[in-house]
Amino acid sequence: MGDRGRLVVPAELRVRLDWTQGTTLLFIEMGDGVIVATRDQAKALMRRQLGGADLVSELLAERRDAARVDDAA
């Protein structure tokens, strides 16, 4: 880390991760350190942590099923 608080990401890593100038990065503090990721990478990480669950899609499916039951009654 530089004296102005700037981090230098090695060029090889930036190329491998397709991080270009202006890429927004999130710093996610964990118990043992910090994860640096793009928003899409952070979303994918959270989905893996949740067992691949897409909670919004599950909720919408449940609501649609409930609406069908109500409409049939």
| Domain count for the chain | 1
Q: Give domain status of residue 57, yes or no.
A: yes
pLDDT in tens, 4-18: 999 899 999 999 999
Cα 22 → chain centroid? 18
Expressed as residue numbers, the domain containing 16 is 11-72
Q: Give domain status of residue 5, yes or no.
A: no
pLDDT in tens, 25-68: 999 998 999 999 999 999 888 888 877 567 788 889 999 999 99
Q: Give domain status of residue 58, yes or no.
A: yes
Q: Give domain status of residue 55, yes or no.
A: yes
- Name the residue with tokens 């609406």: 67
Residue (of 72, 64, 1, 71) closest to 36 by Cα position:
1
Residue 37: what are its φ and ψ, rounded to 5°? Answer: -155, 160
Q: Give domain status of residue 17, yes or no.
A: yes
Tally Cβ neighbours within 10 Å of residue 61.
11
Q: Give domain status of residue 6, yes or no.
A: no
Report the pLDDT value the prediction gives residue 26, as an integer from 0 to 100. 95
Predicted TM-score (pTM) of this structure = 0.57
Confidence of residue 2 (pLDDT cuts 50, 70, 90): confident
Strand stretches in the chain, DSSP E: 26-30, 33-37
Q: Give domain status of residue 37, yes or no.
A: yes
